[in-house]
A = this chain, B = another copy of it.
Amino acid sequence: MLPPVLPTPEAPEPAGPGEGGPLADPAYREAVVDLLGVLAYGELIAFERLAEDSATAPTLPDKVALASMAAAELGHFIQLRDRLTEVGAEPYAAMEPFRATFDQFHANTAPRTWLESLVKAYVGDGLAGDFYREIAAYLDEATRTLILDVLDQSGHSDFAVERVRAAIAADPRVGGRLALWGRRLVGEALSQAQLVAADRDALAALLAGGVDRPGMDLAAIGRMFVRLTENHARRMAALGLSS
């Protein structure tokens, strides 16, 4: 994956002065549990989908490449689940509110071909990673470090670039179809993200800030979307696709 344009943190760390650090604030803690829950469930389902897609790989090395991405996602999942336990949450209960969203996203974007699987792995992984990096800027240090560490461990997806470019070189019509597919993936992802934001007050409040904690105003949210869109366009271009 290309190194993303890093977000400029627009808010300082919401460091709690009291005992127990920022997590002692119930509203903040609820938001962090939500965030870890959504991340964890996303990684678990990413494992499942990548493993499923690896079964359709045209060659054994391709199968292994996608299977390795799947195993890496499961490793991330384990770290996030264990962090949920550390902050005193029941990890699987924390993931529960996000199951329907992810399951719907994956049902709406089930790849019909191996190349669609690759584009989804590369573009989806990248977009989710960028979004979580943006949000990490608003978190306490321990949680932020974990999330950034988990995201840094990605990078198995480079082979997708090579495979997709080779397929387009062999048959340029493939590029048009996959570009449409990439746009559909982003549309579905944004639509599901909106549903989550509408449903989870604590998460939305984390972004919006609080009385003693600066958050994102509308302009900052706008700038975040610009960064997300730019990074997405760079990934599509890396694949040889118009975004």
Question: Residues on A close to B: CB < 8 A?
Answer: 44, 47-48, 51-52, 54-55, 59-61, 63-64, 67-68, 70-71, 74-75, 77-78, 81, 92, 95
Contacts and interface: CB of A to CB of B under 8 A. Distances in A.
A75 B68 CA distance: 9
Contacts of A68: 74, 78
A21 to B, nearest CB: 28
Given A47-B71, A61-B92, 13 more contacts: A44-B60, A47-B51, A48-B67, A51-B51, A51-B52, A51-B54, A51-B67, A52-B52, A60-B92, A60-B95, A64-B77, A64-B81, A68-B78
A68 B52 CA distance: 15
A110 to B, nearest CB: 13
A68 B61 CA distance: 21
Contact of A44 (B67, B70, B78): B67
A145 B52 CA distance: 32
A44 B55 CA distance: 10
The 9 A-B pairs of least Cβ separation, nearest first, read A51-B51, A71-B71, A60-B92, A71-B74, A67-B74, A48-B55, A47-B67, A61-B92, A60-B95
9 contacts: A44-B63, A47-B67, A51-B51, A51-B67, A51-B70, A52-B52, A60-B95, A64-B81, A70-B74
Contact of A51 (B48, B61, B75, B81): B48
A81 B60 CA distance: 11
Contacts of A81: 64
A54 B51 CA distance: 10
A60 B44 CA distance: 9
A78 B70 CA distance: 14
